[in-house]
Amino acid sequence: MGSEAAILGRKATYKDLREVPEHLIAEILEGDLWVSPHPLPRHSHAMTMLVAALVPPFQHGNGGPGGWQLLAEIEVHLHGDVLVPDLAGWRSNRDPELMERPRVTAAPDWVCEILSKSTEKIDRGLKMQIYAREKVGHVWFVDPRKRTLEIFKLVAGVWVPIRSLKDDAAVAAEPFDAVPFPLSQLWPEG
């Protein structure tokens, strides 16, 4: 496998996914088994810093409204697809048993994909289509290489771009607009 995401098998089952070596990320998208390499440290840093910005106010209610369950790199099983979003969030009042079940089968209310060269086409293509089908309300794309954040909202089944932020902009973006944070904290040199 090279540095790009690739189809490992067609008409894949969950058993096929479980047999993928641990050094790869595996997802079933529209019946195909996709594998991709683990991301670079820049990607991991952006994800870690985004978790640090969102969890205290939006999950724990420290300095913010609370009311969310946020999870990183969790398998989400949706009508035959198995996705691994970088970050996903569910409103706590919508699925109070989310953390108690062995498999997450409820569509998230929000998803964030940290873009990398190996997965950007899939994140913006197949995965975004599946998120729309499952009525995920918001998708964020963070691109650590370009130092950008793109915010999309699902309106009548169509993704509508809401905002695009760059470099050190203040982030107050749906659905986490109650507590702003500096976008620059997502960049290693920020």
CATH number at residue 78: 3.90.1570.10
- Tell me, yes or no, whether 166 lies in a domain: yes
- Tell me, yes or no, whether 180 lies in a domain: yes
What pLDDT is recorded for position 190? 57
- Tell me, yes or no, whether 146 lies in a domain: yes
> What is the pTM (predicted TM-score) of this model?
0.94
What pLDDT is recorded for position 170? 96
How long a stretch of residues is the chain? 190
- Tell me, yes or no, whether 98 lies in a domain: yes
- Tens of pLDDT along 9-36? 789 999 999 999 999 999 999 999 999 9
Determine contact, residues 99/76, Cβ cutoff 8 Å: no
What domain range includes position 135? 39-186
**Cross-strand pairs, 51:** none
- Tell me, yes or no, whether 17 lies in a domain: no
- Tell me, yes or no, whether 103 lies in a domain: yes
The tally of domains found in the chain comes to: 1
- Tell me, yes or no, whether 22 lies in a domain: no
Is 163 exposed, middle or buried, given 0-12, 13-18 or 19+ CB atoms closer than 10 A? middle
Task: Walk across the sheet containing 158-166 and list its strands.
Answer: 68-72, 87-91, 110-114, 138-143, 148-155, 158-166
